[in-house]
C-alpha cells in the first residue's frame, strides 16, 4: 500500500493502491505513518517526497471501506487519518508533495499538509465534501495556513475544481511542473532542501510550526462534530445511502 525508497539524501514515499486510486484506508494510513516516521528517523535522509502511484496522487478517503461503518465509527476512522496528516507538520524533516492526476477530498488535504507542494499543471484539485452534504472532517487548518480563510472557504465549498496552475496562483501549490514532471520537480526541490544545514532546516520548521499548525487538533475535533451533525441531514443521508453507511 505504501512504497519507500531513497535517492541520495531524499526519501520517496509513494501511496501505492492504484486499484483504489490511492484512497486513504485504515491500513494504508498506518503504513504511511510508519514510512514517514522511518524516513524522519533515518540519519541519512534529509528531505522526504510524498507522491502517489499512477494514475493520481490520491482520490481521498476509501469510501468502499467507510461504507460499512456507522457515522460514529466513520468519525473515529477519519480521526486516525487526521492524526497521520497532522504528524507531517511535526516531523523534523521537510516533506514535499508531488501531485499528478488528481488530489481529491482527503487527498487534497493530505497534499497541502506537506511543507512544500509541487503540482502538475494539469492536475485536478477538488474538495467535494460539501457537495456530498458535509464539512470536510479534518485538515482544514492546513488549507487555512496556505490560502487564508476567505479562499479556504471558497475551496471548501468546492463549487468547481481547479487545475495546477490555479492551485499555484491561489497558494495551494508552491511550484508547478509539466504533466508527468511533478515528481522530478519535487525531487529537485527536496534535494535543494537536503543540501542545507539540517539543524537550521529543522529549526526553521519548528519556528513556523505554531503558525502553520496553529489550532489544528482542536479544529479537527470541531470539524468532526460538525461532520457527524451534517451526516444526519437529508442531502448527506442520500449520499451515504449510496455507500450503505449506517447512521
Distance CA 151, CA 163 (A): 15
Q: What kind and span of H or E run contains 217?
A: helix 216-230
Nearest to 121 by CA among 168, 68, 62, 60: 168
Place of cell 514510512: 35
Q: Which three cell numbers stand for residue 11?
A: 526519501
- Catalytic residue of the set 129, 178, 199, 209: 129
Q: Distance from first CA to last CA of the chain, Å, rounded?
A: 29
Q: Residue 147: CB partners within 8 Å, gap ≥ 6?
A: 155, 170, 171, 172
Our answer to whether residue 65 is catalytic in this structure is no
Catalytically annotated residues: 129
Amino acid at each position: 500500500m505504501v512504497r519507500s525508497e531513497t535517492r541520495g539524501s531524499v526519501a520517496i514515499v509513494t501511496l501505492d493502491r492504484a486499484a483504489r486510486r490511492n484512497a486513504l484506508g485504515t491500513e494504508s494510513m498506518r503504513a504511511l505513518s510508519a514510512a514517514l516516521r522511518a524516513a524522519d528517523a533515518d540519519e541519512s535522509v534529509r528531505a522526504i517526497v510524498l507522491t502517489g502511484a499512477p494514475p493520481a496522487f490520491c482520490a481521498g478517503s476509501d469510501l468502499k471501506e467507510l461504507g460499512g461503518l456507522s457515522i460514529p465509527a466513520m468519525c473515529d476512522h477519519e480521526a486516525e487519518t487526521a492524526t497521520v496528516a497532522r504528524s507531517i507538520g511535526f516531523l523534523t524533516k521537510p516533506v514535499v508533495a508531488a501531485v499528478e492526476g488528481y488530489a481529491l477530498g482527503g487527498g487534497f488535504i493530505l497534499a497541502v499538509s506537506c511543507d512544500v507542494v509541487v503540482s502538475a499543471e494539469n492536475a485536478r484539485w477538488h474538495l467535494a465534501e460539501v457537495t456530498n452534504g458535509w464539512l470536510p472532517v479534518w485538515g482544514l487548518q492546513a488549507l487555512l495556513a496556505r490560502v487564508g480563510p476567505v479562499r479556504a472557504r471558497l475551496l471548501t465549498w468546492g463549487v468547481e475544481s481547479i487545475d495546477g496552475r490555479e492551485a499555484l496562483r491561489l497558494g495551494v501549490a508552491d511550484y508547478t511542473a509539466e504533466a508527468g514532471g511533478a515528481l522530478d520537480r519535487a525531487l529537485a526541490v527536496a534535494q535543494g532542501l537536503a543540501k542545507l544545514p539540517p539543524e537550521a532546516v529543522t529549526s526553521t520548521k519548528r519556528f513556523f510550526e505554531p503558525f502553520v499548525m496553529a489550532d489544528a487538533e482542536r479544529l479537527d475535533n470541531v470539524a468532526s462534530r460538525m461532520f457527524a451533525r451534517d451526516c444526519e441531514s437529508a442531502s448527506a443521508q442520500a449520499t451515504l445511502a449510496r455507500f450503505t453507511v449506517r447512521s
